[in-house]
């Protein structure tokens, strides 16, 4: 009965319909078009579905309280970006890489998730593997014939990271003066990594633009969650500008054209998290009956400075508080969207996601 309720709930929150069911193929312009059957994920906590060690915040209540009803390693009260992209493709969320030896091998048929919370393109403050190492894990799986060439050619890679790189850089250097040159380094390495993923045989790649860093609660707390930071948002704009310019150049490179892709532009898709976040926040701010709610304010926060969502003190005393209606919040904690937030963001990514089919 519990499983039935969970499945029913998952269908409801994902707005299940025939458009979300797996389709095998269609004919377009006389060419047979095969639906992506697998999803390979590289990134940070926006994409992680359980790779981080059990001591991390995503494995402690109240994380997972909306779905699946208990902590699952996701940094949210419920579903995250990976879950929504997988649902759009008509497949189950791919298994976390660290679970590969503990699950039935048939569960790996939908791909694999290599994302680890707290990580970046380069090393960050987290101990978990950066993007290069995540791709190493993927390459090892390919070399061990876990997936065939056909499996890979009909698959999609989701790449979502970089925010932690800039947070770590600022913490280490104490200022943002040298960030522009560092952004160039991040983009250059990111593009190299995308080429490497494509070179391993993945059919299509979806890479996220950076979300508006200046609107994250961790930044807006200084203004009581009323205003976004122009400085941090300028970093976001510079990153996204360089990302788009570099990917446009990359699309011109014939090496990005896979056998299943008629053109390079269809092999590489940008998911504009920046525009999706801004649009979703504006939508929630102006929803009827919700004008008094501040979408920049997180639902789960520490009781005082020094504590954060999920912190528990001596004798099990909760050092955090929850909002009254998590189902209407956009941000779950100081960095991560709630399930409702991700659902709103996902609704603004549809047009880009259709290019993956």
What pLDDT does 291 receive? 52
- Of 352, 153, 157, which is closest to residue 261 (Cα–Cα)? 153
Identify the band that residue 315 occupies on the pLDDT scale cut at 50, 70 and 90: confident
Catalytic residue status for 45: yes
Q: Which of 45, 56, 141, 229 is catalytic?
A: 45
pLDDT at 7: 38
166, 213 Cβ separation under 8 angstroms: yes
Q: Which CATH architecture has domain 35-356?
A: 3-Layer(aba) Sandwich (3.40)
Query: Quick one: pLDDT at residue 314?
Result: 86
Q: What is the pLDDT of residue 287?
A: 75
The domain locations on the chain are 35-356
Model confidence pLDDT, tens digit, residues 55-83 = 888 999 999 999 999 999 999 999 999 99
User: Which tokens is 207 given?
Assistant: 């890479």
Q: Which residue from 269, 267, 264 is spatially nearest to 203, judged by alpha carbons?
A: 267
Over range 150-173, report the average pLDDT: 96
Q: Where are the alpha helices (DSSP H) in the chain?
A: 2-13, 81-89, 131-143, 149-153, 163-173, 179-199, 217-220, 230-251, 264-267, 273-285, 339-347, 350-353
The mean pLDDT value for 98-109 works out to 91
Q: Of these residues, 239, 336, 338, 343, which one is catalytic?
A: 336
**Active site (annotated) includes residue 239:** no
Confidence of residue 177 (pLDDT cuts 50, 70, 90): confident
Phi, psi (deg, nearest 5) at residue 89: -75, -10
Neighbours of 27 (CB within 10 A): 8
- Active-site residue among 83, 151, 272, 333? 333
In this predicted structure, what is the pLDDT of residue 16?
A: 38
Give the span between the Cα atoms of 326 and 69, in whole angstroms.
13
- Residue 136 annotated among the catalytic residues of the structure: no
């Amino acid at each position: 009965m519990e499983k039935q309720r969970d499945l029913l709930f998952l269908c409801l929150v994902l707005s299940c319909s025939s458009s979300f069911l797996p389709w095998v193929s269609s004919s377009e312009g006389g060419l047979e078009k095969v639906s992506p059957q697998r999803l390979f994920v590289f990134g940070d906590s926006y994409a992680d579905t359980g790779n981080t060690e059990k001591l991390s915040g995503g494995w402690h209540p109240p994380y997972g309280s909306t779905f699946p009803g208990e902590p699952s390693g996701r940094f949210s009260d419920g579903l995250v970006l990976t879950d929504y992209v997988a649902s759009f493709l008509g497949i189950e969320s791919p298994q976390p890489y660290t679970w590969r030896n503990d699950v039935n091998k048939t569960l790996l048929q939908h791909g694999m998730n290599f994302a680890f919370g707290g990580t970046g393109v380069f090393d960050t403050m987290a101990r978990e593997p950066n993007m290069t190492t995540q791709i190493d894990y993927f390459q090892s799986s390919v070399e061990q014939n876990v997936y065939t060439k056909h499996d890979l050619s009909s698959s999609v890679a989701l790449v979502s990271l970089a925010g932690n790189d800039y947070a770590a850089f600022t913490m280490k250097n104490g200022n943002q003066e040298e960030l522009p040159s560092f952004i160039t380094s991040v983009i250059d390495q990111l593009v190299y990594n995308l080429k490497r993923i494509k070179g391993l045989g993945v059919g299509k790649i979806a890479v996220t633009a950076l979300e508006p860093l200046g609107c994250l609660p961790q930044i807006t707390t200084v203004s009581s969650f009323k205003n976004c930071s122009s400085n941090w948002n300028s970093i976001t704009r510079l990153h996204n500008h360089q990302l788009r310019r570099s990917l446009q150049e990359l699309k011109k490179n014939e090496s990005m054209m896979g056998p299943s892709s008629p053109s390079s532009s269809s092999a590489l898709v940008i998911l504009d998290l920046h525009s999706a976040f801004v649009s979703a926040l504006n939508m929630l701010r102006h929803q009827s009956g919700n004008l008094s709610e501040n979408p920049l304010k997180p639902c789960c926060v520490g009781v005082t400075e020094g504590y954060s969502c999920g912190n528990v003190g001596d004798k099990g005393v909760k050092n955090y508080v929850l909002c009254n209606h998590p189902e209407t919040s956009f941000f779950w904690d100081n960095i991560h969207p709630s399930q409702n937030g991700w659902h709103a963001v996902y609704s603004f990514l549809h047009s880009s996601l259709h290019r993956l089919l």
